[in-house]
Amino acid sequence: MSSQAVRLVVLVSGSGTNLQALLDAVADETYGAGVVAVGADRGGVEGLARAQRAGVPTFVERVADHPTREDWDRALAARIAAYRPDLVVCAGFMRILGKPTLEAFPVLNTHPALLPSFPGAHGVRDALSYGVRVTGCTVMLADAGVDTGPIIAQEAVPVLDDDDEAALHERIKSVERQLLVDTVGRMAREGWTVTGRTVRFGRPGG
Ligand code: GRF
């Protein structure tokens, strides 16, 4: 990783296919970013194994190992800070981050629905049971709410007549991985500005 590259810490809770897409993208020096560590809120997940196979340092910080949620928030922020990230990417990380992380670093999140519709842990199921014909994925900045941060990029995915939750989620995830890679790459190479709820690529005054 070049010394100019934007330093990413990626947080996962599960299979880590979005993480894998980032690990594949950063192998190209021109991408502009490198993954300096992968963290999880639970051990034994495939996302951690993917990082290990790529030779990326990992850490696990479990909520249950701390007396209070606030203690976990502080411990997680300290683990992340040790890798001096320029950007933290939640890639299927199933926890709301607390102030210690949100105030220290810009944090990106990805969600398998077109926000502000269907936020929360069951975005695909909720969109399907509502009966929408088009859903999709959203990459946004994280804030203290549940999927409420400023939106950076979105892409639509049609709902097919015979879709169940698993099939629809898989089709969304293949679009989501590319959207995440494209968005992180542009943020790394071009910078970004936030004005109210509007996020634009490019450096201030650039
Ligand atoms: C993604 O659809 C993400 O938006 C959601 O969970 C999925 C994670 O997939 N929160 P993976 O772990 O990257 O394969």
**Residues contacting 129, CB < 8 A, separation 6+:** none
20 lines ligand 1 (CB under 6 A): no
Condensed to tens digits (0 to 9), the pLDDT of residues 75-124 reads 999 999 999 999 999 999 999 999 999 999 999 999 999 999 999 999 99
How far, in whole angstroms, is CA 18 from its chain's centroid? 8
pLDDT band at 52 (very low <50, low <70, confident <90, very high): very high
How much distance in Å is there from the Cα of 8 to the middle of ligand 1? 17
Ligand 1 atom 14, closest CA: 17
Q: Of all atoms in ligand 1, which is nearest to the CA of residue 91?
A: 13
pLDDT of 4? 87
Condensed to tens digits (0 to 9), the pLDDT of residues 149-203 reads 999 999 999 999 999 999 999 999 999 999 999 999 999 999 999 999 999 999 8
CA distance 118 to 200: 24
**Residues contacting 52, CB < 8 A, separation 6+:** 58
pLDDT of 62? 98
Ligand 1 atom 3, closest CA: 92
173 lines ligand 1 (CB under 6 A): yes
pLDDT of 28? 96
pLDDT of 176? 98
Ligand 1 atom 9, closest CA: 92
Number of CB atoms found within 10 A of residue 60's CB: 15
How much distance in Å is there from the Cα of 192 to the middle of ligand 1? 24
111 in catalytic set:
yes
pLDDT of 107? 98
pTM > 0.95: yes
Residue 206 has pLDDT above 70, yes or no: no
Number of CB atoms found within 10 A of residue 4's CB: 9
